[in-house]
């Protein structure tokens, strides 16, 4: 018995090896080649009958898994109507985001969902969308900037101990922004995430490791930022006494590495579902029990750890430059998928621009370059799949902001609030965002506010037009 004979029966990949192993056992038991081939065809025709045990159990399990994966690829028809889902802050959400969420709730793999009050139109799943699926992961349900996240470091310093000019110099020296940017090699730094074995697990990851190493400790364009400001803690919490502290707040993701992972696996997902309704094209999914699904899950989680490593280096550099050790730290990721128990089922919960908010879980919800951000504690609301907003959310697209907002009005807004801005574009102006106070008011049953962060010196990438 050899692999060619097994392949002729129609066995694929891992099943061929398992079939050969079982055939050897049956051959040693005295069966002829013809008898073994007949048995293998019987297992192939009805693997469920062989799952309970015996020499063909492993083969049957693999065939059953492959059959389920093929069925998932075929079952790409959308539900005729969306599953019901809850919406927070409906009066703040544009119709396009609701339309996108409706399509996501029609996917055959969808089981539950929710829309946060900062929601606005994205690619595939709207920004601010929370989607629970069964047995499958959606690359664009996670997003292009995999692992995009927030980090706050509370420093044991009085806010007045650092002047705006000093803060500006520190940010210029110790942060970098923009597509493709990196630190000089001698200043780049290192992190344990770059030495994980996972990079060698896939050709794609091996190919991208160099880019990831080059861009470690930097931030992208758009709404990514690093800023000094004042943390106001009204009562003792976070292991700190009530009071005001100097703090650093950053928003960063997985850089070019995460974007290439997202696009690569989205193409694979779309190839698996060629007949998927065009409205759901960017919501193509990967079965988690498939090779593609497992590869994406591995790459996604690596990108999430890499994004957190960028924060590690940013905050470590700034704290070291100030000669202090942070007194407290809070962080959260808002572009990932998590395995989560929902009711009686184990599901995959995608949070694309949404913050995990399990009961007691700390998180961060920023406003804009000149509006406050907040440290929050989750309330574990089941209807929201234990989630909250990830920020204020855009009320104006980038092009609309660049074309309609006046530079003098944005500068006046910054001056009124005493904010020094390095970089930043009209497309990221505070007026392009919803009022963070309104967004928080719509989710009082999702999170409680612990502390307020007021930005003072902000660095961002240069946008479509400098502010």
Residue 464: predicted pLDDT: 63
User: Known binding site for Mn(2+): residues?
Assistant: 145, 224, 251, 334
Out of 174, 264, 350, 390, the active site residue is 390
Q: How confident is the model at residue 73 (pLDDT cuts 50, 70, 90)?
A: low
Number of residues assigned to the chain:
467
Q: How confident is the model at residue 143 (pLDDT cuts 50, 70, 90)?
A: very high
166 occurs within a structural domain: yes
Residue 10: predicted pLDDT: 82
Residue 188: predicted pLDDT: 87
Listed residues 50, 75, 100: the one ending a domain? 75
User: Known binding site: residues?
Assistant: 145, 223-227, 251, 334-335, 366-369, 390-393
Burial grade of 4 (CB within 10 A; 0-12, 13-18, 19 or more): exposed
122 occurs within a structural domain: no
Residue 151: predicted pLDDT: 98
Same domain, 44 and 170: no
Domain that holds residue 71: 3-75
**pLDDT over 70 percentage in the chain:** 97
Residue 426: predicted pLDDT: 93
Decide: pTM greater than 0.85: no
92 occurs within a structural domain: no
Listed residues 75, 99, 115: the one ending a domain? 75
Residue 84: predicted pLDDT: 97
Does the structure show a pLDDT above 70 at 359?
A: yes
**Domain of residue 366, CATH code:** 3.90.1860.10
User: Known binding site for GMP: residues?
Assistant: 223-227, 334-335, 366-369, 390-393
Same domain, 229 and 133: yes
Same domain, 56 and 142: no
Same domain, 154 and 12: no
121 occurs within a structural domain: no
Does the structure show a pLDDT above 90 at 70?
A: no
Same domain, 64 and 201: no
Catalytic site includes residue 390: yes
Same domain, 29 and 177: no
42 occurs within a structural domain: yes
Same domain, 230 and 307: yes
Domain count for the chain, please give it: 2
Same domain, 16 and 146: no
pLDDT in tens, 389-427: 999 999 999 999 989 999 999 999 999 999 999 999 999
276 occurs within a structural domain: yes
Same domain, 20 and 159: no
Does the structure show a pLDDT above 70 at 319?
A: yes
80 occurs within a structural domain: no
Same domain, 442 and 324: yes
Same domain, 64 and 158: no
Residue 75: predicted pLDDT: 53
Q: 264: number of CA atoms within 13 Å, CB side?
A: 20
What number is the average pLDDT over the span 162-167?
97
113 occurs within a structural domain: no
What number is the average pLDDT over the span 205-233?
96
What number is the average pLDDT over the span 11-32?
89
pLDDT in tens, 421-467: 999 999 999 999 999 999 999 999 999 999 999 999 999 998 766 77
Same domain, 285 and 358: yes
β-bridge partners, 346: 341
């Amino acid at each position: 018995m050899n692999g060619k004979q097994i392949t002729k029966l129609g066995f694929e990949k891992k099943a061929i090896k398992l079939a050969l192993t079982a055939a050897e056992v049956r051959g040693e038991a005295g069966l002829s080649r013809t008898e073994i081939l007949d048995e293998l065809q019987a297992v192939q025709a009805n693997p469920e009958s062989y799952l309970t045990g015996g020499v063909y159990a492993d083969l049957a399990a693999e065939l059953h898994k492959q059959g389920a994966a093929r069925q998932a690829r075929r079952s790409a028809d959308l539900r005729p109507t969306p599953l019901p889902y809850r919406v927070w802050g409906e009066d703040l959400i544009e119709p396009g985001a609701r339309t996108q969420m409706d399509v996501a709730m029609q996917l055959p793999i969808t089981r539950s969902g929710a829309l946060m009050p900062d929601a606005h139109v994205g690619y595939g799943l709207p920004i601010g969308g929370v989607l629970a699926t069964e047995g499958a992961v959606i690359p664009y349900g996670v997003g292009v900037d995999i692992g995009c996240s927030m980090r706050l470091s509370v420093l044991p310093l009085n806010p007045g101990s650092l002047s705006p000019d000093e803060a500006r110099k520190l940010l210029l020296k110790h942060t970098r922004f923009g597509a493709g940017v990196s630190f000089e090699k001698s200043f780049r730094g290192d992190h344990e995430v770059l030495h994980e074995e996972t990079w060698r697990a896939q050709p794609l990851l091996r190919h991208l490791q160099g880019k990831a190493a080059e861009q470690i400790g930097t931030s992208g364009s758009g709404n990514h930022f690093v800023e000094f400001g004042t943390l106001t803690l009204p009562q003792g919490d976070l292991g700190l006494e009530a009071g005001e502290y100097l703090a650093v707040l950053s928003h960063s993701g997985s850089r070019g590495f995460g974007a290439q992972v997202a696009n690569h696996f989205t193409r694979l997902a779309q190839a698996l579902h060629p007949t998927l309704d065009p409205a759901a094209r960017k919501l193509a999914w990967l079965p988690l029990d498939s090779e593609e699904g497992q590869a994406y899950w591995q790459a996604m989680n690596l990108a999430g750890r890499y994004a957190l490593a960028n924060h590690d280096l940013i905050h470590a550099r700034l704290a070291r430059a100030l000669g202090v050790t942070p007194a407290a730290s809070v962080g959260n990721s808002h572009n990932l998928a998590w395995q989560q128990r929902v009711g009686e089922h184990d599901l995959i919960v995608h949070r694309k621009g949404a913050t995990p908010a399990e009961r007691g879980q700390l998180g961060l919800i920023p406003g804009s370059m000149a509006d406050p951000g907040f440290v929050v504690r989750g309330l574990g609301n089941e209807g929201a799949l234990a989630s909250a907003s990830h920020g204020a959310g855009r009320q104006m697209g980038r092009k609309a902001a660049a074309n309609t907002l006046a530079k003098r009005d944005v500068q006046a807004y910054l001056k009124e609030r005493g904010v020094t801005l390095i970089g930043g574009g009209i497309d990221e102006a505070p007026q392009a965002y919803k009022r963070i106070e309104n967004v928080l008011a719509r989710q009082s049953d999702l999170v409680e506010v612990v502390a307020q962060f007021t930005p003072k010196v902000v660095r961002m990438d240069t946008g479509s037009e400098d502010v």
